[in-house]
Amino acid sequence: MKTKEFENVTNKHSDAKIIDFKDYTKYNEKLLEIMELARALGDEIYDSMFQLACLDKWKKWDESQPIGAEINVTDDMLRNTGDKNIDLLWQILDKIMDVEDQIRVIKPKVE
Backbone angles phi, psi at 15, to 5 degrees: -90, 5
By residue count, the chain amounts to 111
Contact of 104 with 15, CB cutoff 8 Å: no
Residue 107 lies in a domain: no
What's the predicted TM-score (pTM) here? 0.70
C-alpha to C-alpha distance for 109 and 111, rounded to whole angstroms:
6
Q: To the nearest whole number, what is the mean pLDDT of the chain?
A: 83
C-alpha to C-alpha distance for 21 and 108, rounded to whole angstroms:
7
Q: Domain range holding 88?
A: 9-102
Residue 3 lies in a domain: no
Number of domains in the chain: 1
Outline where DSSP puts E strands in 1-111. Answer: 9-10, 17-18
- Percentage, residues of the chain above pLDDT 90: 57
